[in-house]
Structure 1
Amino acid sequence: MYGTREELCVQLENMFTFDEPLTLLVWTEEGISVACRENQPEPDVAEIRAVMKAIGAMTMADYRREGVTNSDVSELLARQREAANRLISVPASLLSRVVRGYERELEHRTGQAWEAGRPEPESVQAARKDVYALKDALAA
């Protein structure tokens, strides 16, 4: 299971009777971070929470058979990083159309911010850098 303490308590209450003996093992963000200390770079909060979700999604049968060790946690992080950084092939024309559409959306968001008297959001600035990087890759 994965969630906040309150969410997990509700799930446990629905799964077990109030007098049923249980053993509860808990992985916290700090515990995940410590388990992944050897990984470089160290995991950020988003990666830690993704690992926690993966642990929480384990079936009870798998958990009983295999458990979750520090090396398992570190391996989960490594697999998630590999998946996030995997390379795929996409036709340049398709990527170009998607990038143009996304760039127009970013311009729209910038316009909305300016009309509201706010600066361009940092998230839009970061996304614009991604667009420029993709356009450069397409031009190469």
Structure 2
Amino acid sequence: MSLPTYEEADARAREGSPFSNGTEDYAWMGNWCGRCIHDAPTRRDEWDKGCPLILIAYLGKTPAEWLESDPLSLADRYTCLMFRPEDDPGPDEPTPVPDPAGQLTLCPREPYERPARMYADTRLIPERLP
């Protein structure tokens, strides 16, 4: 799954700012964006190549790629589905899991495989439930 363009992210974004003040913004972005490969160009002063999701947030909308996970934690309030650590050598797109050797296939796998790679655990964790 590749990073959306600004126009695609803006069309899917929810109205309303994701953060109520600068402290929440700095805490969350320091934990997620500060070590993400998509925002690395911005840290090198290449502003035109930065992550479009951050721009959406600065303009007062919440990106659809940010799932609310722990509203009481400043650093983990949202889970960014596009997050990839800078040292992640993996490809941008997922690679299919090979069929086990010697196993017959009853039906094609392609229609049933997920089209995107999840970068974060989005399951509800019982300890975090309100």
TM-score (norm 1): 0.23
Higher strand share: 2
TM-score (norm 2): 0.24
Higher helix share: 1
Compare CA radii of gyration and give the structure with the larger one: 1
Q: With a CA cutoff of 8 Å and minimum separation of 6, indicate the structure with the bigger relative contact order.
A: 2
